[in-house]
Amino acid sequence: MEILPYTKEHLLFRERIRDFCQKKVAPHVEKWEKDGIVDRQIWKAMGQEGFLCTWADSCYGGMGGDFLYSIIALEEMAKTNHYGLDAFLHSDIVVPYIASYGSRQQKEKYLPGCVSGDIVAAVAMTEPDAGSDLASMSLSAEEKEGFVHLNGVKTFISNGLSCDLVVTAARDPLCENRHASVSLYLVESGFEGFSRGRPANKLGVHSQDTAELYYQNCKVPLQNLLGKKGAGFSMLMEKLAQERLLVAVLAACKAKFALEQTIEILKHQAKGPLSQAESFALVEMTTEAELARVFVEKLVLEHMAGKDDTARVCMAKYWASEMANRVVSQCLDLIGLEATTEACPVVRTFRDLRVFKIFAGTNEIMKKVAAKSLGFSK
Ligand SMILES: Cc1cc2nc3c(=O)[nH]c(=O)nc-3n(C[C@H](O)[C@H](O)[C@H](O)COP(=O)(O)OP(=O)(O)OC[C@H]3O[C@@H](n4cnc5c(N)ncnc54)[C@H](O)[C@@H]3O)c2cc1C
């Protein structure tokens, strides 16, 4: 039973992007995993086909699609079993900051490039000493001689090497209020004083360029302040709802993908019917993956109706990511020896899923926010 109200147009879009992923993405994944980054031209190819920022208005080159197009793009990309082409981060997490809070000039300047793939976007919140507690960030923003000067370091930034534009969170050192001192700035990679470090050598998500970003007297024009000065923290919190929901959707997709692969592998390995232990394990895992799908799709519907439920989005992010990690680990157990080699596709899924418990807010933070929202704690 379909919960989400897909139309004929949605299904045609799904067919197109599935074909694209099979022909233009999947064949390059092994190379990208080795390179630690995806080829730049894939962004342009995605843009040319209309697969980036599907929600953007036609005046910026977009198709003005609803959130279901974003979900379809995410689901089809998940089937390529890699997490390097972070198109959903670009399209549905970062660029929406510009669409929601940007001035007309900022939208006209940046949105067409974000839609066409000429501009790759990133969001920089995390610092070496400020992860979960974002309000303790120290990257400073000071107005001098007609510019905002940014000084500090951001760490573990997805699309860190490929990005051309970074939504950067920074604080006014003169403002004592931890939350009201944070503002967001649109930083172009060519701005004086902006540079990048080496990519992180991570446990998983090998094809994604996760890097440190350095701001050394980085000169940002005053007009590149995004939204109101001092409103950065609330903008980040507002946009984290969609990010967390998408991570939950993706975790559910990854669990489904791993299960499908595992069933295929077991069929090949089997000399006879599956044992009762194996078939029971598959039934239990399929039940969990289905439960996750129903849960996240209900939240997608609510999100589309503008009724985000903070507690349940956090619950979905924590539970779906834990469930997917648990399921994929058990898939490896069932596959056996074959699952100790890189030839087994579920190995990469297993590695890539670990970070789902950490980014977009760690699962401990998800429980903290949910507990507060449900009135279980202060
Ligand atoms: C692959 C990858 C990509 C990323 N991409 C981006 C990106 O694009 N942009 C960006 O800004 N950041 C990004 N991050 C950073 C990510 O968002 C942070 O790692 C995350 O917010 C957690 O911060 P931390 O690692 O500093 O952990 P910490 O905040 O130091 O937490 C350490 C542990 O303590 C727990 N903890 C902390 N505070 C509490 C509390 N109050 N109560 C209970 N438990 C608590 C946490 O849950 C965690 O288990 C990325 C990280 C990775 C690994």
The pTM of this model reads 0.97
Among 358, 368, 377, residue to substitute to test ligand 1 (most atoms within 8 Å of Cβ): 358
Task: Tell whether ligand 1 has an atom less than 6 A from the beta carbon of residue 162.
Answer: no
The CA radius of gyration of the chain, in Å to the nearest whole number, is 21
Q: Is 264 assigned a catalytic role? A: no
Q: Does domain 8-118 have CATH number 1.10.540.10?
A: yes
Q: By the 8 A CB rule, do 318 and 312 touch?
A: no
Task: Tell whether ligand 1 has an atom less than 6 A from the beta carbon of residue 355.
Answer: yes
How many whole angstroms separate alpha carbon 14 and alpha carbon 75?
9
Q: By the 8 A CB rule, do 51 and 87 touch?
A: yes
Residue 301's Cβ-count burial label (10 Å; 0-12, 13-18, 19+) is middle
The CATH code belonging to domain 123-230 is: 2.40.110.10
Beta strands in the chain (DSSP E): 121-124, 140-144, 147-157, 165-171, 182-188, 194-199, 211-221, 225-226
Q: Which atom of ligand 1 is nearest to the CA of 205?
A: 1
What homologous superfamily does CATH list for 233-373? Butyryl-CoA Dehydrogenase, subunit A, domain 3 (1.20.140.10)
Protein residue closest via CA to atom 7 of ligand 1 = 157
Q: Which atom of ligand 1 is nearest to the CA of 124?
A: 11
Q: What is the location of CATH 1.10.540.10 in the chain?
A: 8-118
- What are the backbone dihedrals phi and psi of residue 196, each rounded to the nearest 5 degrees, phi first? -125, 150
Q: Which amino acid is at 341?
A: T
Q: What is the location of CATH 2.40.110.10 in the chain?
A: 123-230
How many whole angstroms separate alpha carbon 125 and alpha carbon 117?
23
Task: Tell whether ligand 1 has an atom less than 6 A from the beta carbon of residue 310.
Answer: no
Would you write out the chain's pLDDT as a tens digit for each of its 378 residues? 679 999 999 999 999 999 999 999 999 999 999 999 999 999 999 999 999 999 999 999 999 999 999 999 999 999 999 998 878 999 999 999 999 999 999 999 999 999 999 999 999 999 999 999 999 999 999 999 999 999 999 999 999 999 999 999 999 999 999 999 999 999 999 999 999 999 999 999 999 999 999 999 999 999 999 999 999 999 999 999 999 999 999 999 999 999 999 999 999 997 788 999 999 999 999 999 999 999 999 999 999 999 989 999 999 999 999 999 999 999 999 999 999 999 999 999 999 999 999 999 999 999 999 999 999 998
Instruction: Please tell me the predicted confidence (pLDDT) of residue 154.
Output: 98
Nearest to 255 by CA among 167, 183, 132, 346: 346
Catalytic-role residue among 33, 76, 127, 243: 243
**Encoding tokens for residue 142?**
């000071």
Residue 138's Cβ-count burial label (10 Å; 0-12, 13-18, 19+) is middle
Q: Which residues of 211-245 are buried (b: 16+ CB within 10 A; e: fewer)?
A: bbbbbeebbbeeebbbbebbbbbebbeebbbbbbb
Task: Tell whether ligand 1 has an atom less than 6 A from the beta carbon of residue 167.
Answer: no
Q: Which amino acid is at 44?
A: K
How many whole angstroms separate alpha carbon 355 and alpha carbon 200?
13
How many whole angstroms separate alpha carbon 233 and alpha carbon 119?
25
Distance of CA 332 from the midpoint of ligand 1 (Å): 27
Task: Tell whether ligand 1 has an atom less than 6 A from the beta carbon of residue 333.
Answer: no
Instruction: Please tell me the predicted confidence (pLDDT) of residue 369.
Output: 97
How many whole angstroms separate alpha carbon 6 and alpha carbon 2?
8
Instruction: Please tell me the predicted confidence (pLDDT) of residue 321.
Output: 98
How many whole angstroms separate alpha carbon 94 and alpha carbon 243?
9
| Bridge partners, residue 213, by sequence | 154, 196
Distance of CA 21 from the midpoint of ligand 1 (Å): 30
Q: Which CA distances in Å does 32 have to 78, 176, 182, 188, 195?
A: 15, 44, 35, 25, 23
Task: Tell whether ligand 1 has an atom less than 6 A from the beta carbon of residue 112.
Answer: no
